[in-house]
Structure 1
Amino acid sequence: MAQGSEENRQGTGEGGRGGAEPVPGTGAHAPAEGQEHAGAPAASVMAEAENRAHRTSPLGSGRLNYFTLGFTGALGVLTAWLLVQALIGVHGLFINILVALFLAVGLNPLIEFLHRRGLPRWAAILTVCLALIAFVTAFVWTLVPPLTQQAGEFIANAPDLVRQLGDNRLFADLDRRFNVLGQVQHFVTSADFGQRVFGGVFGVGQAVLNSLIATFTVLVLTLFFMASLPGITEVGYRLVPRSRRAGVRELGDEIIARVGGYIGGQLLVALIGGVVALVFLTVIGSGYALTLALVVAVTALIPLIGTTIGALAATLVVAVGDLRLGAVTLVFFIVYQQIESYVIAPRVMRRSVDVAPTVTITAALLGGALLGLVGALIAIPVAAAVTLVLKQVVFPRLEER
């Protein structure tokens, strides 16, 4: 009996494993595993055959997908091309905005200085803006009349200058060989000479007008950026997560201070150079002392080559009237450049920009190649900001690893 009951239990267990099991909560039996998937192979074979036939169809989904992919890619390329063309179209406006923002950040320390002395911020901004307008007006007022006068005198005296060249032996020999003076005299005395000259003058006038419009645009944008600079920086800091906001704020304020210190230092160096040039040119009796001094001061803002450009311009103007005074002017500016490079500029820039000379030269060259004069002007502050980020953020994190 025991053996029979044991066999019955084994049979019941094997039957339970092989047969259907009751579904909990119901009296029904669940289908066995083999019964549940009995029709699966046949269904999968039919689905695969249908998909194969659909793919091999001339109008199947494969060709439709390739067409959609190509069309989407073409739309992407067209959108990118239109975006590039739009950026090229607003290139000038972008440069004006960049210069205005650069000036606003650079003049912010002066505004903060006036604000600490008791002026409201709006009054400090207005004072700085009026000073900028006065400087630009003085520069244009002193530069345009001499250029206009010299151009008019050259046009009026051009025939006499050509005849005087005929008395020179070298030019007389060139005239016998190549008829140079004859061609020049024919061009000067031709009926369309005035039209060509005035056409060139009109082109120069158009360029001057465009420069004045760009200058006015930059001044207006600078005024708005100076007024809203605290709000702009605050919005930028709020884009950073709260856990890192304090560190980013400290680093950002330091970068703004460095950029402002650099621009302030450059303005001070340019002011010293302009004053020294004004004193020297007045002593030697130059009739364009103020104009040349302003040219020297403005070109001194250009990194690396600005002082040299101003010195050469002043030397050429003086040498036209007196060659000996021109040589003296050249020697004076060479000596002053050495003093400025090794005495004045290092002391002024010591606390504002901490950038290696090689980085300074490389940044100025790259900035000039990318954005011209504007790129050369802003390249050194950008290099100073990058150097500050490397020293305070990147290098410490690398040392911790």
Structure 2
Amino acid sequence: MSRRGVSLIVLSVVLGLLLWLLPEVPLLVFAATLLGVFLFSGSMLLRRVLPVSNGAGVGLFILALLLLSAAMGMLAARPIADQLNELWQQVPAAAASLSEQLSRYRWGQELLSRLQSGNISLPAGGGTTAFTALNSTLGALANLVLVVFLGLYFALDPTLYRRGIEALLAPSLRPRARAIAEEAAATLRGWLGAQLICMAVVGSLTGLGLWLVGVPLAPVLGLIAALLAFIPTVGPVLSAVPGVLLGLAQGPQEALAVVGVYLAVQSVESYLVTPYVQRRNVDLPEAVTIVALLAFGLVYGFLGMLLATPMAAVLLMLVKRIYVEGYLEAEPEGQKGVILRG
């Protein structure tokens, strides 16, 4: 067997063992890679207008993000905090109002009784549960810190880590691997740009629409819709829950108006904004997105759902470049067109 084949087998075996023994590690590395691509893209934008190195560009971009966050916090933290507090107080009241309205009907009473009968009591081992929750929280914080620092290292010197992967392959495969790595980075940059545009559009339109129909706390509901728009398909449904509850607290007509606002925003985002932006940046069919959400959500949970779409975009690109073009399309000319006989 050639060194080319051996290098591919060794790399595949190592990756397979890593996925089998430590399945969360590739997910965290991918999250760090996505963060690194984001920081490196910001550095690229700054270096177009400033004569600085990549490291200085990354530092300036992080500083700009911190200053922007601080400015927004100084200007909007107090109103947003007040609105979040009010939202936190009004949503339970809206849920109680909905329960009272449902209790007027026989079918509503039956629905409420079934929901109440499904309440889950607290486990007897409260101390063990609290200790487990504390360990999970600390583990999540530790993973977050690792992802941030790893993403920073990737952004500061992406060539170093790309060459490290190339060194594991035979010399004849390295130019191809370099081209695929550059295309993967371009795919992630395109997905990030498209996602940021979609989030901004969803948040702005949701806040404006809810304000027009007279729903309280429209700005904070728009912010929630923008943040949850990062999760395709599932995020918009989750973002609509507090808005619909607040609409129900004002009456059935207001609730229908809120539902209409969310449906209109999602229609604009799904049929106008996303197709235009995503097709210009990432070639990812909608069915593949839904399958990726289900698969990565079942395997990795909430974090898997957050990263399902960019991972699906990269995996689809790898399948196309490595398997379809690198293997199937490389079939010898003499074998093409031959019909298999049973």
TM-score (norm 1): 0.57
Mapped pair 1:317 → 2:246: yes
**Residues 152-208 of structure 1, C-alpha deviations (whole Å, 9 max, x = no match):** 7899x9xxx89x97xx8779xx8xxx9xxxxxxxxxxxxxxxxxxxx9xx99x9799
Partner of 1:329: 258
The separation in 2 between residues aligned to 1:140 and 1:85, in whole angstroms, is 44
**Residues 116-148 of structure 1, C-alpha deviations (whole Å, 9 max, x = no match):** 332522343234434655559859877765555
Amino acid aligned to 2:210? L
Mapped pair 1:392 → 2:321: no
Partner of 2:185: 256
Amino acid aligned to 1:100? A
Offset at 1:258? 1.1
Offset at 1:230? 2.5
Partner of 1:339: 268
Partner of 1:36: none
Structure 2 runs not aligned, ≥5 long: 1-17, 114-126, 336-342
The separation in 2 between residues aligned to 1:107 and 1:234, in whole angstroms, is 20
Offset at 1:352? 2.4
Offset at 1:295? 1.1
Structure 1 runs not aligned, ≥5 long: 1-82, 179-198
Offset at 1:356? 3.4
Partner of 1:231: 160
Partner of 2:15: none
Mapped pair 1:278 → 2:207: yes
Partner of 2:227: 298
**Residues 304-326 of structure 1, C-alpha deviations (whole Å, 9 max, x = no match):** 22223223333333433454333
Offset at 1:228? 2.8
Q: In the alignment, which of 289, 304, 329 is matched to residue 360 of structure 1?
A: 289
Change (3 A) 1:341 1:149: closer
Change (3 A) 1:99 1:342: same
Q: Pick which of 289-298 and 134-143 moved more.
A: 134-143
Offset at 1:344? 0.9
> RMSD of the TM alignment (CA)?
4.4
TM-score (norm 2): 0.65
Offset at 1:353? 1.9
Mapped pair 1:125 → 2:58: yes
The separation in 1 between residues aligned to 2:159 and 2:49, in whole angstroms, is 19
Partner of 2:40: 108
Q: Bigger radius of gyration, 1 or 2?
A: 1
Residues 292 and 314 of structure 1 are in contact (CA less than 8 Å); yes or no, is this contact kept in structure 2?
yes
Amino acid aligned to 1:301? F
The separation in 1 between residues aligned to 2:26 and 2:172, in whole angstroms, is 33
Q: Say which structure, 1 or 2, has more relative contact order (CA 8 Å, 6+ apart).
A: 2
Residues 142 and 290 of structure 1 are in contact (CA less than 8 Å); yes or no, is this contact kept in structure 2?
no
**Residues 203-256 of structure 1, C-alpha deviations (whole Å, 9 max, x = no match):** 9x9799757776555444432332232321122223332222222211221121
**Residues 355-395 of structure 1, C-alpha deviations (whole Å, 9 max, x = no match):** 33333332232122211233232332233333432343123
Residues 111 and 124 of structure 1 are in contact (CA less than 8 Å); yes or no, is this contact kept in structure 2?
yes
Where 1:351 maps in the other structure, the secondary structure is: helix
**Corresponding residue pairs, total:** 285
Change (3 A) 1:151 1:308: closer
Partner of 1:48: none
Q: Pick which of 386-395 and 250-259 moved more.
A: 386-395
The separation in 1 between residues aligned to 2:288 and 2:104, in whole angstroms, is 52
The separation in 2 between residues aligned to 1:95 and 1:244, in whole angstroms, is 25
Residues 109 and 261 of structure 1 are in contact (CA less than 8 Å); yes or no, is this contact kept in structure 2?
no
The separation in 2 between residues aligned to 1:113 and 1:226, in whole angstroms, is 13
Where 2:230 maps in the other structure, the secondary structure is: coil
Amino acid aligned to 1:108? F
Percent identity at matched positions? Answer: 23
Partner of 2:196: 267
Where 1:118 maps in the other structure, the secondary structure is: coil
Residues 99 and 374 of structure 1 are in contact (CA less than 8 Å); yes or no, is this contact kept in structure 2?
no
